[in-house]
Amino acid sequence: MNVKLVSLAGAVLALIAAPAFAEDVAIQIILKDHKFTPAEVEAPSGKPLTLEIVNQDSAAAEFESKDLRVEKVTPAGGKASVKVRALKPGRYRFFDDYHESTAQGFLVVK
């Protein structure tokens, strides 16, 4: 009986702790010549994301997305990480607020 109780307790603890160990999906996006590469990235639905923005331009950029409800200034030649909540399937637009006419992209969640 004690062995079953210990096994059951271990299983319950594993289920409770599992979300704490879930890792974000990491996606890197490079900004160069005021354009994002890749301009379209894919991510799985239902999982939190970390977008790493690598700014290879000589000017600061502001990664922004009204769809994702995020904005982050990325220094010239620097990096910035943006945490994004778990998303439903869809197409989410992002852009550089300082160069919106050329620096645009999409996060496609499947």
- CATH number, domain containing residue 39: 2.60.40.420
34 by Cβ neighbours in 10 Å (0-12 / 13-18 / 19+) ranks as: middle
Domain with 45, as residue range(s), is 23-109
90: amino acid identity, one letter: G
Does any domain span residue 5?
no
Stated pTM of the model: 0.77
- Structural domain total, the chain: 1
Note the pLDDT of residue 95.
Answer: 98
pLDDT mean by block of 10 residues, the chain; 110 residues? 52 51 85 97 96 97 96 96 96 97 97
Decide: 110 and 42 in contact? Cβ < 8 Å: yes
Note the pLDDT of residue 20.
Answer: 46
